[in-house]
Amino acid sequence: MKTRKIICLAASLTMLMTAFGCTAGNEVKTSSTPQSSAGASETSENSVADTKDDVDEDDVSVDVVKGTGYDGDGTRYGIDTVEGAKSLETAEEAPAAEAPAEGVTYDRTKGETKKNSTERGTGDTASEEPETSGEESGRVSEESPESSEASDSSAPSDQTPKAGQLTAGEWNDNDNFGFFSNLVDSGKITFPSYGLDPRYRTAVTVRNEEGKALPNVKAELLNESNKVLWTGITDKKGNAYLFCKEGEKPVSVRVVSGDKNTTESIKEKENRDQSEKKSADNTLEIKLDAEPVTYKNTDIMFIMDATGSMSDEMLFLQSEFTAITEKVGSDNARYSVNFYRDKYDEYVTKCYSFTKNIKKMQKLLNSESADGGGDMPEAVAEILDKTMVEAKWRTESVKIAFMIFDAPPHDGTETRILEAVKTAAEKGIRLVPVVSSNTERNTELFARALAVNTGGTYVFLTDDSGIGSSHLEPVIGSYKVEKLYDIIIRVINDYKQG
């Protein structure tokens, strides 16, 4: 079995939580979450509201959804408790699972079933790579990471490498939406992807009369009946990204900050043949008579695929997190780590509450291991629902969720995924997918849709480190190969406000 204990997870998270966060800056003004004006959409009935900022941050609780699995002879089993958890708020039954079809073997390590072709241009949704300028792969590589110091000759050869070796790239489709639209219009990439469709975008920038960017402003995309199609929250640059389905016609955008609000019409583009277009991009700059509202707090979440094929990535990624702690400050931050597998496994989801209590979180995480899986799709819809909808994010906080995974959701979960992502956008949660080795094209496109729809950015591991299995070359433009911890530090600094 490929499974390994995540021996460095606890120590890494200890340092991570002491180092990640916001350094108090010059806060202009602090206010509650902007309230919607009349006609604004209500939060879904299934949505759990953000928590107030005065919660007990020393408590650590865990929410486990049990799985229904099979051992070697087909016997179904489940899990009822989580050892070491201080409190178990809920333990819901996973949906009843049918036995594997005759002739189908669920490899609980999953690793052997994930050795997919990683040739550029292959995959279900991208049959051809776009032409890009620059080096052969469209990448600009930094100097190779320094090799680690020689270790004791008696040490095992497969010891976890020192932090700072894992390499990755980053691509922001919202910053390169023209390139993205050309890929879509030429058929090189296709959407929707598991219910998410980032093709029809309205980009909004909100400023006050003095020209200052207004962060944390609610922006709502409206149709002619004043129905809200999408809601987003502006980032510290005053930017928000709103989306609609194919066939929907947005006519205006309403922005709200406290008791201030205004509505701006979307002007139709003239003298442009739209008949062959499979995407659309409207841009608006809106003036609002309000003062900037910044948040000093930051909530940082890590969502990890904990199936068998992810054991190497989890070990390496935790090593990277240790290095990150040496680079980032630790004020005003809370942390949550969440794991998911699939319905045939020991658990479907295991979610820890946000906390500042490092010791308790360390004890809980120390016993976690990578196991299970077997088939390609995993419980992605379930973990998004738990983390985006039910998790208690602070209302007045910058919200960042790193999702580390290598497999797509199950078919038939599109509605649940869309509702979870729309909720994330409404709360201002920036989803940052980190796609690992042995992934396929459909997983890449799903991850990019997650990032685009929530104002996040797409991160992907590369082969340059020589660590782990092969990594899929994404269908993007030129990018720079960097150390993963550098990217994570930069992403957090890009979003945090305090």
What value does the CA radius of gyration of the chain take, rounded to a whole number of Å? 22
Name the domain boundary from 258, 287, 316.
Answer: 287
Q: Using one digit for the tens of pLDDT, what is the confidence trace for 76-134?
A: 333 333 332 333 333 333 444 343 333 333 232 333 333 233 333 333 344 334 444 33
Instruction: Specify whether 332 is located in the same domain as 449.
Output: yes
Q: Are residues 274 and 313 in the same domain?
A: no
283 and 309 in a single domain? The answer is: no
Q: Which of 263, 287, 311 is the last residue of a domain?
A: 287
Q: Which long-range contacts (CB under 8 A, 24 or more apart) does 185-192 make?
A: 185/276, 185/277, 185/278, 185/279, 186/130, 187/278, 188/126, 188/127, 188/128, 188/129, 188/130, 188/475, 189/125, 189/126, 189/445, 189/475, 190/125, 190/126, 190/445, 191/445, 191/449, 192/414, 192/449
Band (140; pLDDT cuts 50, 70, 90): low
Is the pLDDT assigned to residue 176 strictly greater than 70? yes
For 254, 289, 291, the CA distances from 231, given in Å and listed in that order, are 10, 20, 21
Residues 103, 243, single domain; the answer is no
Confidence of residue 283 (pLDDT cuts 50, 70, 90): very high
Do 167 and 199 lie in one domain? The reply is no
Q: Which domain holds residue 205?
A: 195-287
Res 370: pLDDT:
73
Of the three residues 265, 287, 309, the one that is the final residue of a domain is: 287
pLDDT of residue 136: 36
Q: Let me know whether 263 and 315 are in one domain.
A: no
| pLDDT for position 223 | 97
Q: What's the pLDDT tens digit per position in 435-494?
A: 987 889 999 999 999 999 999 999 999 988 887 778 889 999 999 999 888 899 999 999
Specify if 146 maps to a domain.
no
In a domain, 83, yes or no: yes
Domain co-membership, 474 together with 491? yes
pTM of the model: 0.75
Domain membership flag for residue 256? yes
Asked whether residue 307 is domain-assigned, the answer is: yes
On whether residue 153 sits in a domain, the answer given is: no
Shared domain check, 109 and 255? no
- CATH code at 317? 3.40.50.410
The pLDDT mean for the chain works out to 74
One domain for residues 259 and 340: no
Alpha-carbon span 50 to 53, nearest angstrom: 9
345 neighbors 371 (Cβ within 8 angstroms): yes
**310 and 405 share one domain:** yes
What total number of domains does the chain contain? 2
Q: Please check whether residue 441 lies inside any domain of the structure.
A: yes
